Amino acid sequence: MHQRRTHVCLIIVPARSSTGQSTGSGETGAVSENDPAVAGEYAGAAYPVTRRDADQLESVGANRTWWDAEAADYYAEHGAFLGDTELTWGPEGLRESSAHLLGDVAGMRVLEVGCGGGQCSRWVAGQGAATVVASDVSRAMLDRADRINATMTDSRLRVPLVQCDGAALAFPADTFDVVFTAYGVVPFVADSARVMAEAGRVLRPGGRFVFSTTHPVRWAMPDDPGEPGLRVTQSYFDRTPYVEQDRSGQATYVEHHRTFGDRIREIVAAGLRVVDVVEPEWPEANLETWAGWSQLRGRLIPGTAIFVCVKD
């Protein structure tokens, strides 16, 4: 979840930003925060926001720093929803215990990418996986995971932690039976195709890669939990990144958009095959509102897309 803009096991877009949402201009290309449309949608934002190009290096650096600073507050806000030993695929609250998207993990070697506090990895470890490794690019998030590990009375749930970039995994080829990420990494890197390729590289033949991310259709709508959030105000095809930056123009947070077709092409290029795509519905029992996530919107449009892939 990632409500203060997609990281722990699941990421809900931060309230101070808009999940790469509409600038209101409806045009492709970089947009300045001085544009009236931007000023209207992002009124009251804590940081200047814009739509402009942001490469892999800038995106990873900005987001690592952001998550390092956010780790404690993020856990305080979302820890109860996530649970310390649950695998939750998105803000809708879909749990792996009911979705069964990873398959039977008993006896498997499993890698989580973008683990945040390690909640999802602990759930997998509790299902009898032979090995579970939780990785994240943020040192502060891993420190939080380590503190949660220390509270686990069951030694199996004290999962190993590794700091590494999801687009440059620090593991040999054909190491894992399952790789997964729940709202980690994918929206936050310029080159998400490299994330798919790395997942494919470290998977053994027959292995499974599952990832959840913001549903592409949300990019076309404002990040508003109410009626205004049901309007199409931005081109779905505009892939210009959403960028928060300081007054000097240095990025402090970046989020990237890809269309549904882009995602499928990235997966296929990585030598993986899509076997399922899950678009969780918002359950009536979930009364939470996080930035643009709400029951109102969740009843009408998908907020999350979960891609289930295998390596042949």
Cα 69 off chain centre by? 17
Q: What is the pLDDT of residues 93-148, one digit of tens each?
A: 999 999 999 999 999 999 999 999 999 999 999 999 999 999 999 999 999 999 99
Alpha carbons 220 and 235: distance in angstroms, whole number: 6
List, as one string, the DSSP characters of 151-163: T-SSGGGS--EEE
CB 27 within 8 A of CB 249: no
**Residue 47: predicted pLDDT:** 62
**Residue 30: predicted pLDDT:** 35
Q: What is the pLDDT of residues 233-278, one digit of tens each?
A: 999 999 999 999 998 999 999 999 999 999 999 999 999 999 999 9
Give the residue among 216, 214, 208 at the shortest CA–CA distance from 272: 208
For helices 192-202 and 260-269, the axis angle rounded to 10 degrees is 40
CB 195 within 8 A of CB 202: no
pTM: 0.86
Alpha carbons 175 and 199: distance in angstroms, whole number: 10
Task: Give the Cα-Cα-Cα angle 11, 16, 18 (nearest 5 degrees).
Answer: 65
Q: Where are the beta strands (DSSP E) in 18-157?
A: 49-51, 109-113, 131-136
Give the residue among 158, 70, 153 at the shortest CA–CA distance from 116: 70
- Gyration radius of the chain's alpha carbons: 18
**Residue 99: predicted pLDDT:** 98
Give yes or no for residue 207 having a pLDDT over 90: yes
Confidence of residue 23 (pLDDT cuts 50, 70, 90): very low
Confidence of residue 160 (pLDDT cuts 50, 70, 90): very high
